[in-house]
Chains A and B, each alone.
Chain A
Amino acid sequence: MSPTRSLTPHTWLTWLIAAATVTIIARNPLYSLIMLGVAGIMYNRVRPRGASFPFNWLQLGGLMLFIPAIFYALSLHSGNTVLARLPAQWPLIGGPLTLEAMFLGASNGLLLLALLVLFATFNRAVASTDLIRLTPRALHHLGIVVLIALTYVPETTAQWRRIREAQAIRGYEPKGWRGWRPLLLPLLVSGLERAMDVAEAMVARGYGATEERPQSVRRQTVMLVGLAAAFLGWFLIFARSIWGWVLMGTGVGLLGWLVWRAGRAVTFTRYQSTTWQWADTWVIIATLIPLLVLFWLTPTALFYTPFPQLTLPPFQPLFGLTLLALLMPLYNPAFRLLPSPNPQTRP
């Protein structure tokens, strides 16, 4: 039995958002290291259903730690531990090169690397066709567009290969920029021809048979008001006003309600519905724990700066431990103890 057995895409999305939020808000290099470890374990143990990351992790990790360190050392010239000195007359990079600056650069790179691995885990765990289930109901048609595109990518790649072979048989070799015309234009035209066939097939199956009501002025006004409120709220949050949060919350709530209402007007049925299991509930609860602890921690506990003197970052063991809760999709007791309620969902 595989470690992660068919968690729903919604669960994975919640996991991703919680993990990414925790990583970004707790900008401590030690926590970033823990998150990197958690994400690395998840990436290795998760059952690959989607695309895997195309690059070499070790090389990428080294680059992401090394380059910002150098960049920061060359642009930021404060800190007590001086490693080398460039002549101060040099325009941007002149001055002392300090260990603190390098450390800040490396910790920023570490944060980015942890985020990358988190997103790569999500990509790997959820098949791209399952991601369509995450589209909001109101954007159902755009979800169909993405589905059509994903379905026809392999076919289009094969078509590209066929066109190249056909032209090569005729002794044609692309020379210069104009040489690509006889290759790219047939690809485009064949794609559009196929679009006509797909459209006919969709209409024959009843797509768009019910008339959609046009945009109502009421809906557009609510949209405008919601957007304006969210924008103003965001701006006020930067001005450190409590009204910022209130306003942004109102705007977001209004827009969320609008999207929900628009979704209710869309009717469709699913051939295969997503089954919600106990494992999903456990994972959701587990991923909320670090978020709660994070909001309970005071901001000063999270703030860390290596300047002026490099010191060990503050570390809250309790919080570090709760980060391990993000490994829940792997070691979920519900997978072992409780049987799946629907035997058809077993892989």
Chain B
Amino acid sequence: MNTTLDTLQTHLTTFPWRFQLNLARWLSGAIYGLSGVMGAAAFVYPFILRMQGQAFNSGTTLVLTTGLLMICLLVLLLEVQGQVISAKVVAALGLMVAVTAILRFVDNAVPIPGGFSPIFAPIILAGYVFGARFGFLMGVMTLLVSALITGGVGPWLPYQMFATGWIGLTAGWLPHPSRPRTALILLAVFGLVWGFLFGTIMNLYSWPFWVGEATMSWEPGSGLNTTVRHYLNYYVITSLWWDVIGATGNVILILVLGQPVMKALRRFRDRFQFEWGPVGSEQ
């Protein structure tokens, strides 16, 4: 049945130009982009509210923003799932999530104070080797499963899931240089950047709860600049050192474990490449 959109797609893909426009891929990219912007907005909503001159610690805005983020997450999961599911991917995802989820608690043997969490390195490496969608799903599911097994489900969980999912997603978008050492250094820098970024945005989430109102609501005439400055003060006092430890931990883990882990993952990816199908479906 030819609908307007299908007709449009047919016209666009047969347009006599050198490159072919793939409407589905463009829409896919648009969905990722829009949900990324929405997620970012949900994290920085105190600043948005401040720009409109309001006190931001109201309960309704928090409920609405968490709801928005959960919708965003749901839609992204639906979009990503629609393209990658086969029994091998499901099983590989499940087992890798299990391994990473228990890694979160295995580091009791190595007492490191601070914000170091060993789950980010495997997620980055898996996203790099298996692709952006696998990385996104792995990030989201690891947080969910580790929350379920420890009883740590809380109102921060959608935010953590969203942020970690994006770590895996962006890891899949990294370029693949030909020299392995360059790739390793690239991944290490990526881990460093995301170590700080993750800490900053999770801090943003907790800021209105702990301190935000204290520095904002009762100073009339303060605007966006003051808000940002106050947030940076809060960040430096509370979590900068935490994030430094977290970020450097990521770098060390990637540098030390990156090569052998990627080799193992690549070997399995190549083993996973074959497809089962009904007779007569070979092309």
Which chain A residues have a beta carbon within 8 Å of chain B's beta carbons? Answer: 20-21, 24-27, 50-54, 68, 71-72, 75-76, 78, 92, 101, 104-105, 108, 112, 115-116, 119-120, 122-124, 128, 131, 136, 138-139, 141-142, 144-150, 152-153, 155-157, 160, 177-178, 180-181, 184-185, 187-189, 191-192, 194-196, 198-199, 202-203, 207-208, 212, 214-215, 217-218, 220-221, 223-224, 226-228, 230-231, 234-235, 237-239, 248, 251-252, 255, 258-259, 262, 307
Q: Which of B35, B92, B154 contacts A227 (CB 8 A)?
A: B35
**Contact in complex: B137, A156 (CB < 8 Å):** no
B41 interface hit (Cβ, 8 Å): yes
Contact A228 B34 (CB under 8 A): yes
**Cβ–Cβ contact B5 & A217, under 8 A:** yes
B279 at the interface (CB under 8 A from A): no
Per the bound structure, the CA–CA distance linking A178 and B261 in Å amounts to 13
Classify chain B: how many residues form its interface, as a range.
Answer: 35 or more
Q: A104-B213, A259-B78 are in contact. Are A20 and B99 (CB under 8 A)?
A: no
Q: Which of A76, A146, A191 contacts B145 (CB 8 A)?
A: A146
Closest A residue by C-beta to B28: A220
Secondary structure of the A contact surface, majority rule: helix
Find chain A residues with CB under 8 A from B94 CB. Answer: 144-149, 152, 195, 198
Chain B residues proximal to chain A, CB less than 8 Å:
3, 5-6, 9, 23-24, 27-28, 30-31, 34-35, 37-38, 41, 45, 48-49, 52, 54, 57-65, 67-68, 71-72, 74-75, 77-79, 81-83, 85-88, 90-99, 101-103, 106, 122, 137, 141, 144-145, 148-155, 209-211, 213-215, 218, 233, 237, 252-253, 256-257, 260-261, 264-265, 268, 271, 276
With known contacts A185-B264, A227-B31, A119–B153 Cβ distance under 8 A? yes
Known A-B contacts A220-B24, A231-B68; A144 and B34 likewise in contact (beta carbons under 8 Å)? no
Cα of A119 to Cα of B150 in the assembled complex, Å: 12
Q: Beyond A215-B28, A217-B27, A238-B54, list 15 extra A-B contacts (CB 8 Å).
A: A54-B150, A71-B211, A120-B151, A128-B149, A142-B137, A146-B94, A152-B98, A157-B102, A181-B257, A188-B96, A192-B92, A195-B92, A207-B90, A220-B79, A234-B64
Contact (Cβ within 8 A) B27 A221: yes
When distances are taken between beta carbons in the complex, the residues of chain A under 8 Å from B59 are 24-27
B63 touches A25 (CB 8 A): yes
Q: Max chain B CB contacts within 10 Å: which of A20, A54, A149, A234?
A: A149
- A-chain residues with CB within 8 Å of residue B271 when the two chains form the complex: 196
A178 to chain B: closest residue by CB: B256
**Contact of A131 with B148 in the complex, beta carbons under 8 Å:** yes
Question: Closest CB-CB distance, B178 to chain A, in whole Å?
Answer: 24
B79 contacts which chain A residues (CB < 8 A)? 215, 220, 223
Query: Which residues of the other chain, B, contact A157 by a CB distance below 8 angstroms?
Result: 102
List residues of chain A with CB within 8 A of the CB of B215: 75-76
Expressed in whole angstroms, the Cα–Cα distance for A230 and B234 within the complex equals 31
Establish whether residues B148 and A150, one from each chain, have CB atoms under 8 Å apart when the complex forms.
Answer: yes
B residues in contact with A223, CB < 8 Å:
31, 75, 78-79
B5 touches A203 (CB 8 A): no
Max chain B Cβ within 10 angstroms of own Cβ: one of A139, A142, A153: A142
Are B74 and A255 touching (Cβ within 8 A)?
A: yes
The docked-state distance in angstroms from the alpha carbon of A25 to that of B153 is: 20
Q: Which residue of chain B is the closest to A116 with respect to CB atoms?
A: B154
In the complex the two chains form, is B34's CB within 8 Å of A231's CB?
A: yes
Q: B87: shortest Cβ distance to chain A, in Å?
A: 4
Query: Could you list some 24 contacts between A and B, CB below 8 A?
Result: A51-B149, A54-B150, A54-B151, A71-B210, A76-B218, A123-B151, A139-B77, A139-B81, A142-B77, A144-B94, A145-B90, A150-B145, A156-B102, A157-B102, A181-B257, A199-B91, A203-B276, A218-B5, A221-B5, A223-B31, A231-B34, A231-B37, A255-B74, A258-B78
